[in-house]
Amino acid sequence: MVNADILDLFQEKDFLRICAPMVRYSKLPFRILAKRNGCDLCYSPMIMADSFVQSAKARRNEFTTCTEDSPLIVQFAANSVSDFVNAAEIVVPFSNGVDLNCGCPQRWAMKEGYGAHLLTKPEIIHDMVRQVRNRVPEHYSVSVKIRLLEEDRKTIELARSLEFAGVTFLTLHARTTQERHSPIHEDSLREVCQSLKVPLVANGDVKSLKGAERLHAETGCKGMMAARGMLSNPAMFRGYPTTPLTCVQDWINISLDLETIFNCFHHHLVFMMEHIMPKEERRIFNSLKTKSAVLEFLEKNYGITYEPGKSGLSSANDIIICDKSSVREEMSAGAFFETTVQKDESYDDTLDSLGGLYN
């Protein structure tokens, strides 16, 4: 793993172009594609810290990387200081930073004390950051992704508390926990940004390079994080209005060279091709069930073919698995795996099929 200093990246650029943590989607092959198409920084999908710490199986399933996969932030969902600290220590050799998810508004997360529920317990978030900061190397990034609180004043108080605890930067999804698809609060982003010394990353409605540039100019935020925009157009930060076919070709080569499972391989293409294909073509393409059928369709209609080895990557030689043992290794796979994953081993990749738990 390249020893990239995340804070240096913020200082080198007007603003960082960032691919958000997305369950099922921001895995290794897509991170490689994003970085080859204009992203400065990528996140792993959100990982459950308790299972990651307790189970070697969870670590193998939930996290892979490679030497090209840098800079990389690994995001964890945790509801205890020990889980976040132990998970962070495991991934230090494989990444450039860790992030604590305090923004997931889903009911299952709130019920279990994860995600946005932590916003009601700022002292716990502060302690998590402080403890991790004291246990990882100085250059290693520690960050938190939060949502707006009911009042900007309270958001600023939380942000300053985390700055004092030692965060490298903060990410702010500029909606409250109750808001879903309403416009983001740009004024709040600007106020929080102006109140901090550490960089602030803006999240929400970043769907194009022009939009990111405008939001940077309006708020002063030093990072622009995109999620849905990246799914529909992984080359958005290079200024393309829709996914260029060269990017689709890159995805074919990267994902197949890394032996990506079909669901992931196909779902990304469905997003990428949405604004390229006419409606009838989309209907046919979205219903395809095998890699060979997808490749045949793309070659016939768009002249795109798989070029083995063209990506420069190999699943046998380049993928790095997180094989570091844990101080809390147990016979149990952890609550998450016991109640969900181990009940159904029929999926090619069970975690991908359980993505609804995180959405």
Q: Who's near 192: CB < 8 A, 6+ residues apart?
A: 152, 155, 156, 159, 172, 200
166 Cβ partners below 8 Å, 6+ apart?
Answer: 129, 130, 133, 134, 142
Do 78 and 128 touch, CB atoms closer than 8 A? yes
Is 66 a residue of the active site? no
Query: Residue 213 contacts by C-beta under 8 Å, 6 or more apart in sequence?
Result: none
**Range list of H helices, 17-167:** 28-36, 49-54, 56-62, 81-91, 107-112, 122-133, 152-165
Q: Which residue has the tokens 């390249």?
A: 2
Q: Are strands 64-65 and 320-321 parallel, antiparallel or unpaired?
A: antiparallel
Which listed residue (42, 104, 221, 322) is catalytic?
104
- Which of the residues are catalytic? 104
